[in-house]
Amino acid sequence: MEYDDVIAAFFQPSPPGVHAPPTVAPSPARRFRDAIEPLAMHSVWCRKTSDAQAALGLDFMTGYVMGRSALLGQPEPGVVAAAFAVFEPNMVQGVYDDARSRCDRDELWEARTAATTASLTEVLAGADVAAAAETLRAAVNSAALIGRPLFAGLIGQPWPTDPVGQLWRACELAREHRGDSHVAVCVSHGLSPIEMNILTELWVGMPLGSYTASRGWAPEDIAATAAEMRTKGWLEGDVLSQEGAELRTAIEDATDRLEQPIVDSLADRYDDIVKDLERWSALCIEAKAFPPDVFKRAAG
């Protein structure tokens, strides 16, 4: 899966005026999450990092899986599949095995950090990010580790030395923290990975199966799970039922509560920092370093 092919597939803009439902009147925790998403994922979508990973023998998917799993050190494939949660586990393990056979983890980590920081520095074009980076770093450093493997692995890595790199790392940490929290909530509700995906894609306004398929799940597995969800009363046809929507909203609310300590750490700087993050994230989208699709941004 080459970078240019992925860009062609994912970088289709949403029609003017279209919004994903959870972004219309977001909670403070959700607004913060949406504000950081393009910054946190700069390493995945920017060309500089893709080129740096390609020089090490990685394509888009092997770079994505190895890049995120590298924060765990050198884990076994099953650990990576467990942490990634919503991805088809055999696919993730196979991609990870392929990736780690092609390049050294430490070499990738250094190249990923340097390339992402350089790219984001260009995109932000001299913006003064130092104060925001410092505040966000303090916020994520105070966040809970328990039950959050990707966040815990990432926060144990050396921080970039310059403010733009620290801004990216802080956003990446906040994103991993929320992702780990969200998975924990979903698991507590007894959801399977495909159920997690379907509830999210329909809740944000995507067609049934579209987001789930991008996580490596086969059409027949998606169809079978959707049929089970109709039996449970969570779907009506190919959309969420009232019960399904209430379930997904409850999951979101529980995730927000787990992320509220990070929001609280921003204190009276919350509004100003989020406005800055929203502006800087818009620059990432303008630079084609994050998909312009509002549904993809809302889904993660």
pLDDT digits (tens, 9 = 90+) for 61-104: 999 999 999 999 999 999 999 999 999 999 999 999 999 999 99
- Domain contains 295: no
For 22, 45, 206, 283, 293, the CA distances from 16, given in Å and listed in that order, are 17, 23, 16, 18, 11
What pLDDT, in 10s, does the model give residues 121-154?
999 998 999 999 999 999 999 999 999 999 999 9
Number of domain units in the chain: 1
pLDDT tier, 280 (very low <50, low <70, confident <90, very high otherwise): very high
- Domain contains 241: yes
- Domain contains 249: yes
Residue range(s) defining the domain that contains residue 195: 3-288
Measured distance CA(193)–CA(171) in Å, rounded: 25
Question: Does residue 6 have a pLDDT over 90?
Answer: no
- Domain contains 150: yes
Q: Which residues have C-beta within 8 Å of that of residue 85, sequence separation ≥ 6?
A: 183, 186, 193, 196
Measured distance CA(11)–CA(59) in Å, rounded: 18
- Domain contains 297: no
- Domain contains 57: yes
- Domain contains 300: no
- Domain contains 294: no
